[in-house]
Structure 1
Amino acid sequence: MTTARDVMHRGCECLQVNDTIDAAARRMAELNVGALPVCGEGGRLKGIITDRDIVVKCVARNKNPAAVAAGELIEEEHVWSIDANADIEEVLHQMAEHKIRRLPVLENEELVGIISQADLAAKLPEDKVGELVEAISATSH
């Protein structure tokens, strides 16, 4: 059985809720990634910030990225995540159902990795990835 752990990108870095958006953007550039998880006290996952969030929720609204905290851009109502031991079918189901392109992976409530569409494309059969991309893109923003 293939699990979330088998396909996730390990060593995922976490922004802190008080980190500024300009620091987040620099870190994304250094890591060559388009998103970073945001963690609060005790390393608990609070949300994810994407490069699109930075542009749409900060820059386009004429906010100063050096004065805006990462915690201000995340939506904490519900952060979708998956257990590291979850079956890959559950990963695909969660990403398709919630129309998300990245899924944080937790073990004992601690962030241990993240799964992106690219991770899945590299490790799963083409038909499975195609179904996921189609489901996410159908009404995704």
Structure 2
Amino acid sequence: MTTAADLMNPGAQWIPATESLDRAAQLMRELDVGALPVSDPNERLCGIITDRDIVVRCVAAGRDPGKTTAGDLCEGTPRWISSVAGVDDVLAEMESHQIRRLPVIDENKRLVGMISEADLARTLTDDQLAEFVERVYA
């Protein structure tokens, strides 16, 4: 059975909720990613920020990315999946919440990776991928 651990891009990194968006953007550039999971002081997932969040919700809104924190942009309940969850569970989670990136958490509730659309495209059949795209972008 294919699991979330098989699908994910390993080595995802947190950014603390207290870190500035300047630093978040720098880390995204260094890691060549468009999204970062945000952690609370106990290294628990409290949200995800994207490069688009930084541009639209901070810079374009006239806020200072040097003074705005990653935690300031986190909204709602963050979604995640267990590393041992099957591919059907991964797809169901992403489709039902219409999300394109999903943090993968191990049995100790620690971040071990991220699943993105590109990861799915490498693994899913054409039919599975088409169904995913239709549901997420509907």
- Asked if Structure 1 and Structure 2 have the same fold, meaning a TM-score greater than 0.5 normalized by the shorter chain, the answer is yes
| Per-residue Cα deviation, 1:3-62 (whole angstroms, up to 9, x for no partner) | 101101100011001110011011111111110100112211111000111111101110
The corresponding residue for 1:97 is 96
- Listed as ranges, the matches of 1:52-71 within 5 Å are 52-71=52-71
The corresponding residue for 1:79 is 78
The corresponding residue for 2:130 is 130
Matched, 1:20 2:7: no
Percent identical residues: 49
| Per-residue Cα deviation, 1:52-89 (whole angstroms, up to 9, x for no partner) | 111111011100100101100011x3111111100100
* Partner amino acid, structure 1, of 2:94: M
The corresponding residue for 1:48 is 48
Distance in 2 of aligned mates of 1:12 and 1:126: 26
Report how many residues are paired.
137
The runs of at least 4 consecutive aligned structure 1 residues that moved more than 4 Å come to none
Measured on the aligned residues, the alpha-carbon RMSD in Å equals 0.8
The corresponding residue for 1:114 is 114
Please, which runs of 5 or more residues in structure 2 have no aligned partner? none
* Partner amino acid, structure 1, of 2:13: E
Distance in 1 of aligned mates of 2:91 and 2:122: 14
Matched, 1:38 2:25: no
* Partner amino acid, structure 1, of 2:54: I
Please, which runs of 5 or more residues in structure 1 have no aligned partner? none
The corresponding residue for 2:87 is 88
Query: Secondary structure, in 3 states, of the residue corresponding to 2:71?
Result: helix
Query: What is the deviation of 1:114?
Result: 0.8
Distance in 2 of aligned mates of 1:34 and 1:127: 26
